């Protein structure tokens, strides 16, 4: 407690408010006093702005952006450290002040005077003097405020708030039920013949779970072993267990999670859908799908349905064929069930067939992908496509860990245009898993003391790959290479923006069904010959990746792609229908809807007891309600964008450069300043087509 007392406003690094966060100086004990002080200040400023606000750009948007930027500067640094330098102290501090931040953010987005000023700004004659980017920022602000209920008054407003409250509770309850149901089940195995086929990693995990459950002497080799419904346990078991009876048993428990008794999610589903429909009606929409799409790139439900149907009809026949092939393969392995593969056989045989067909592991490729070479390849690619040069700038920025690198991006005149951090290695003790891009500094035009300057964007790129060990560099799997390219694509979106208004620079104000376009676009290049062979060289011998590996990578990419695509389409269509035409309380239940739609979106129909919806957390407790289609929507965009390069010829360097320049000036430069459909059309000259995605997946257009 003494440390807290000695922290004053002046020496709290989290209150610096501009520039790069001084990571070396920030300590967990700075968080609580900084946030309390900051929220106090910003709260006072917001209250003042609410009384003095004018419906002009400088009297409304600029002061508002200043407030939210200050919050983002401090809270962004704290959140970043939560991801990369976590500790009990930091977590505790974060949890202490998080409610304050949420409360203030709500106040900011639901302010009546601010909302009214935005509306007035749009109705004034000066509206037309604003640039399109400014107009879009205002339009988005009004839309978001209205979706959060600001436009409602009296009884409608009260009802809206009550619905929001109940929905939040139901969503938490829903995910708790899934969690509890998942945890409740354990399959304890004691005989060696029950674990036949399981890989060593799963045996270790299963023995560890057994030990945690009281079997203190459990070992990976002699058991007992406990299999659970957690995916790291369930998934590999279904892939590898040779015991068909146990696979069936486990599968049937898995598909009925949270579907009866105390943990039954069925009534919650009906209630959630009912409330969402009522909420949509209050906001003046026909149904919840319309509410969801109001802030997305997809113009309407029909457009989403059309896209999904194109993908469905193309993947359905392929999925049927893949099942036939799988049956033939199982027959060739003398499987008794070959002619009657059930749900619990598919994953198992698909994995056997994969092993037989491709016969290589992720591990084998590691020596060909040392991080420094992969970075050279990646930086060479962005130079080739976009004319920008990436150079190390280590030492020019404060870092949070010694392995963190800092880079500069310069344009073709040599002028600096952006910077980024790269934190590549896994540190399980303090770093969150997965990979991500986050914004550190947004691009903006600043006016100070009569002069204007451009603040350059800075990105965080965070991965979780193997650190250098025993003098070897970090050796990456091909998946890790793809992930790095993916995150770098998000980074380019943030860093190569030419928008000077913070609220629409880079990824800001980009609709979320469009935000994965630049990231998935970059993944395509990992399979492009010059890019791949330019970086894939054995780290010791310099040997170039053997051709047969390349062919296997290409083939493995499309392995059972029809079934994979159809599965995603099934989820998307069910989600959309439940939020579009479904009416809770009618004779058809949500589960009936799913069964009806399964007729055309699954090859083996779900079992009668299948309660998949009861565990569909994405749409009932995540943010994906009527938005699950976004995965496919963005993939269509990114594949079509890559196809622009294929069309001009990937071996025609001049044409690739020209196309790269156009891509940079549209997709990467315009950020959220224009509607994503306009941005896409600026680049492609037409609306997106599903043909390239289908072709890249080895699926013919139906
Ligand atoms: Zn992404």
pLDDT at residue 641 greater than cutoff 70: yes
* The residue to which tokens 């998949």 are assigned: 612
Helix (H, G, I), strand (E, B) or coil at 12: coil
The closest of 146, 129, 141 to 53, measured between CA atoms, is 141
| Three-point CA angle 262, 226, 264, nearest 5° | 15
Banded model confidence at residue 359, pLDDT cuts 50, 70, 90: confident
The tokens describing 270, both together, are: 């009906």
**Rounded distance between C-alpha atoms, residue 205 and residue 228, angstroms:** 10
**Rounded distance between C-alpha atoms, residue 224 and residue 206, angstroms:** 8
CA 89 to centroid of ligand 1, rounded, Å: 30
**Rounded distance between C-alpha atoms, residue 486 and residue 521, angstroms:** 8
- State the catalytic residue, choosing from 305, 310, 487, 577: 487
pLDDT at 6: 61
CA 528 to centroid of ligand 1, rounded, Å: 20
The tokens describing 659, both together, are: 């196309």
Q: What is the rounded average pLDDT of the residues 642-648? A: 98
pLDDT at 423: 98
User: In the annotation, is 29 catalytic?
Assistant: no
* The residue to which tokens 């951090």 are assigned: 421
Whether the CB-CB separation of 36 and 92 falls below 8 Å is answered with no
pLDDT at residue 180 greater than cutoff 80: yes
Tally: H helices and E strands in the chain: 27, 9
pTM of the model: 0.92
CA 670 to centroid of ligand 1, rounded, Å: 18
Query: Is the alpha carbon torsion for 463, 469, 473, 477 positive or negative?
Result: negative
pLDDT at 228: 95
β-strand partners of 11 = none
CA 695 to centroid of ligand 1, rounded, Å: 22
Banded model confidence at residue 110, pLDDT cuts 50, 70, 90: confident
Whether the CB-CB separation of 118 and 138 falls below 8 Å is answered with yes
**Rounded distance between C-alpha atoms, residue 702 and residue 698, angstroms:** 12
DSSP string, 632-689: HHHHHHHHHHHHHHHHH-TT-HHHHHHHHHHHIIIIITSTTSS-HHHHHHHHHSS---
Residues 6+ apart with CB under 8 A from 112: 150
Between 2-6, 314-318, 396-400, 437-441, the lowest mean confidence (pLDDT) is in: 2-6
CA 437 to centroid of ligand 1, rounded, Å: 8
Banded model confidence at residue 1, pLDDT cuts 50, 70, 90: very low
**Rounded distance between C-alpha atoms, residue 218 and residue 210, angstroms:** 6
Question: What's the pLDDT tens digit per position in 10-55?
Answer: 789 999 999 999 999 999 999 999 999 999 999 999 999 999 999 9
Task: Tell me, rounded to whole angstroms, the distance of Cα 575 from its chain centroid.
Answer: 18
CA 483 to centroid of ligand 1, rounded, Å: 9
The closest of 40, 79, 39, 47 to 63, measured between CA atoms, is 47
Whether the CB-CB separation of 305 and 626 falls below 8 Å is answered with no
Report percent pLDDT > 90 for the chain. 91
The tokens describing 477, both together, are: 């799997």
* The residue to which tokens 């013919």 are assigned: 700
Question: What's the pLDDT tens digit per position in 581-595?
Answer: 999 988 999 999 999
Calculate the alpha carbon distances from 45 to 40, 48, 50, 74, 417 in Å. 9, 5, 9, 16, 32
Whether the CB-CB separation of 85 and 448 falls below 8 Å is answered with no
Tally of CA atoms within 13 A in the half-sphere of 609 that contains its CB: 11
Question: What's the pLDDT tens digit per position in 263-311?
Answer: 999 999 999 999 999 999 999 999 999 999 999 999 999 999 999 999 9
């Amino acid at each position: 407690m003494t440390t807290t007392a000695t922290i004053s406003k002046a020496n709290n690094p989290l209150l610096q408010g501009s520039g790069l966060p001084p990571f070396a100086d920030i300590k967990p004990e700075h968080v609580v006093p900084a946030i309390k002080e900051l929220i106090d200040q910003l709260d006072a400023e917001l209250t003042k702005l609410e009384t003095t606000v004018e419906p002009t750009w400088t009297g409304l948007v600029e002061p508002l952006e200043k407030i939210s930027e200050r919050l983002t500067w401090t809270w962004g640094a704290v959140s970043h450290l939560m991801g990369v330098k976590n500790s009990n102290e930091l977590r505790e501090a974060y949890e202490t002040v998080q409610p304050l931040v949420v409360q203030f953010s709500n106040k900011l987005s639901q302010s009546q005077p601010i909302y009214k000023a935005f509306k007035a700004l749009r109705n004034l004659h000066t509206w037309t003097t604003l640039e399109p980017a400014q107009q879009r920022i205002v339009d988005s602000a009004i839309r978001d405020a209205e979706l959060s209920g600001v436009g409602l008054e009296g009884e409608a407003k009260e009802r809206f708030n009550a619905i929001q409250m109940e929905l939040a509770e139901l969503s938490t309850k829903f995910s708790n039920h899934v969690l509890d149901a998942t945890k409740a089940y354990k399959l304890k195995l004691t005989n060696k013949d029950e674990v036949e086929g399981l890989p060593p990693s799963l045996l270790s995990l299963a023995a560890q779970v057994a030990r945690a459950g009281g079997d203190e002497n459990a070992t990976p080799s002699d058991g007992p072993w406990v299999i659970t419904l957690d995916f790291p346990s369930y998934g590999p078991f279904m892939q590898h267990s040779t015991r068909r009876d146990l696979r069936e048993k486990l599968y049937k428990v898995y598909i009925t999670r949270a579907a009866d008794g105390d943990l039954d999610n069925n009534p919650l589903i009906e209630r959630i859908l009912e409330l969402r429909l009522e909420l949509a009606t209050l906001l003046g929409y026909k149904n919840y799908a319309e509410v969801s799409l109001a802030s997305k790139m997809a113009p309407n439900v029909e457009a989403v349905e059309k896209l999904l149907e194109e993908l469905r009809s193309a993947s359905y026949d392929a999925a049927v064929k893949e099942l036939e092939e799988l049956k033939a393969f199982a027959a060739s392995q003398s499987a008794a069930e070959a002619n009657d593969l059930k749900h619990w056989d598919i994953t198992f045989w698909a994995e056997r067939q994969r092993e037989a067909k491709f016969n290589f592991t992720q591990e084998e490729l590691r020596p060909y992908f040392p991080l420094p070479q992969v970075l050279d390849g990646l930086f060479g690619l962005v130079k080739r496509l976009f004319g920008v040069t990436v150079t190390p700038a280590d030492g020019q920025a404060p870092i949070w860990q010694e392995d963190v690198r800092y880079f500069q991006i310069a344009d073709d005149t040599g002028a600096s245009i952006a910077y980024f951090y790269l934190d590549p290695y896994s540190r399980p003790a303090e770093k969150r898993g997965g990979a991500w891009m986050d914004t550190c500094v947004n691009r903006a035009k600043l006016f100070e003391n009569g002069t204007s300057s451009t603040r350059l964007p800075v990105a965080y790129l965070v991965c979780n790959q193997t650190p250098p060990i025993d003098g070897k560099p970090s050796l990456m799997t091909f998946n890790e290479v793809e992930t790095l390219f993916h995150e770098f694509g998000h980074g380019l979106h943030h860093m190569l923006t030419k928008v000077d208004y913070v609220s629409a620079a880079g990824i800001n104000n980009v609709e979320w069904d469009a935000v994965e376009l630049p990231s998935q676009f970059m993944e395509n290049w990992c399979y492009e010959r010059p890019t791949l062979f330019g970086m894939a060289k054995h780290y010791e011998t310099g040997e170039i990746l053997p051709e047969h590996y390349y062919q296997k990578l290409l083939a493995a990419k499309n392995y059972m792609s029809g079934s994979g695509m159809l599965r995603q389409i099934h989820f998307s269509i069910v989600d959309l229908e439940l939020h579009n035409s479904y009416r809770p309380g009618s004779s058809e239940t949500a589960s009936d809807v799913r069964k009806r739609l399964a007729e055309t979106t699954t090859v083996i129909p779900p079992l009668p007891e299948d309660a998949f919806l009861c565990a569909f957390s994405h749409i009932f407790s995540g943010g994906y309600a009527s938005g699950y289609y976004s995965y496919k929507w963005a993939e269509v965009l990114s594949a079509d964008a890559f196809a622009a390069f294929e069309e001009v010829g990937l071996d025609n360097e001049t044409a690739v450069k020209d196309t790269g320049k156009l891509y940079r000036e549209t997709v990467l430069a315009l950020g959220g300043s224009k509607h994503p459909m306009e941005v896409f059309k600026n680049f492609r000259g037409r609306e997106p087509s599903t043909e390239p995605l289908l072709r890249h997946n080895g699926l013919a257009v139906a």
